[in-house]
Amino acid sequence: MPSLLTIEVSPRLESSTSRKLTALFVQEWRAANGDGRVVVRDLAKTVPPFVDAPWIGGAFTPPEQHSPESAAAIAISDDLVAELQAADHLVIGTPMYNFSIPASLKAWIDHVVRVGVTVSTANVGLLTGKKATVIIATGGDFGPGSPVEGYNLASGYLRQVLGWIGITDVRIVLAGRARAGGEGEMAVEQFGGDIRMAVAA
Ligand SMILES: Cc1cc2nc3c(=O)[nH]c(=O)nc-3n(C[C@H](O)[C@H](O)[C@H](O)COP(=O)(O)O)c2cc1C
């Protein structure tokens, strides 16, 4: 049974463009994978804790040496890693914040990039055989040919860090000028074709 892990990031909930696009992705994915399982990890509703000293102590020592604080910190990471390991397809729906990604998504990444767990000590990504779709809602237009195309640090970063843990089959849907319905802005449906292509790829 195919499995989809959906990472929601935007705190704007019902008003969010990226959430509308991930909902469209999930709808299309369900249509293509009838009996598939969809797991949602909502980083706005439960913000992952930032990496701290107990987390670092836990990530680089065997479990039998963990303090109670390290064990608790690593248990959160282990849960997030297990969700990702179980997924065949990962979809991340995120806004762009200050040319990059929101801190909550970075916190999730810091939990799932684990030496010896998702990337080997020889720097080989261990989460192979998965697909990922990254939907990035932005206020500006960072598409090909835009004079500010290079300002977009989110796409390259997410592609690189997913590749680092072995997820190299990545499609990025850049939903530029999708400011959730104001006058003159792109309708969310505008990106439906890109979403369908990402599901079919
Ligand atoms: C704190 C903050 C920072 C933002 N930074 C950028 C930015 O650097 N570039 C951009 O084009 N849009 C920026 N935006 C606009 C959002 O990326 C845009 O409105 C996006 O569609 C929001 O996605 P959402 O509706 O899913 O929350 C920013 C918005 C906020 C709240």
Q: What is the mean pLDDT of residues 57-69?
A: 97
pLDDT at 96 over 90: yes
Cα of 38 vs centre of ligand 1, distance in Å, is 26
pLDDT reading at 133 higher than 70: yes
Q: Which two tokens stand for residue 44?
A: 């706005």
| HEC-encoded secondary structure of the chain | CCEEEEEECCCCHHHCHHHHHHHHHHHHHHHHCCCCEEEEEECCCCCCCCCCHHHHHHHCCCHHHCCHHHHHHHHHHHHHHHHHHCCCEEEEEEECECCECCHHHHHHHHHHCCECCCECCCCCECCCCCEEEEEEEECCCCCCCCCCHHHCHHHHHHHHHHHHCCCCEEEEEEEECCCCCCCCCCCHHHHHHHHHHHHHC
Residue 135 has pLDDT above 90, yes or no: yes
Whose CA is closest to atom 4 on ligand 1? 97
Specify the pLDDT at position 197: 83
Distance 108 CA to ligand 1 centre (A): 19
Residue 153: give the domain boundaries: 3-200
Task: Give, for ligand 1, the residue of 138, 141, 173 to mutate: max count of ligand atoms closer than 8 Å to Cβ.
Answer: 138
At 129 the pLDDT is: 98
Structure tokens at 71: 């064990």
* Residues 18-42: tens digit of each pLDDT: 999 999 999 999 999 988 999 999 9
Give me the pLDDT at residue 198, please: 82
Q: What is the CATH number of the domain that holds 195?
A: 3.40.50.360
> Cα dist. 34→119, 132, 194 in Å?
32, 19, 21
Q: What is the mean pLDDT of residues 181-198?
A: 70
Does position 151 have pLDDT exceeding 80, yes or no? yes
- pLDDT (0 to 100) of residue 161: 98
For residue 93, pLDDT beyond 90:
yes
Higher-confidence residue of 89 and 180: namely 89
pLDDT confidence bin for 188, thresholds 50/70/90:
confident
**What pLDDT sits at residue 76?**
98
- Number of domains, the chain: 1
Tell me the best of 12, 24, 96, 173 to mutate to test the pocket of ligand 1, counting ligand atoms within 8 Å of each CB and taking the most. Answer: 96
Interatomic CA distance for residues 14 and 131, integer angstroms: 27
Residue 191 has pLDDT above 90, yes or no: no
**Looking at residue 195, what is its pLDDT?**
84
Residue 14 Cβ contacting ligand 1 at under 6 Å? no
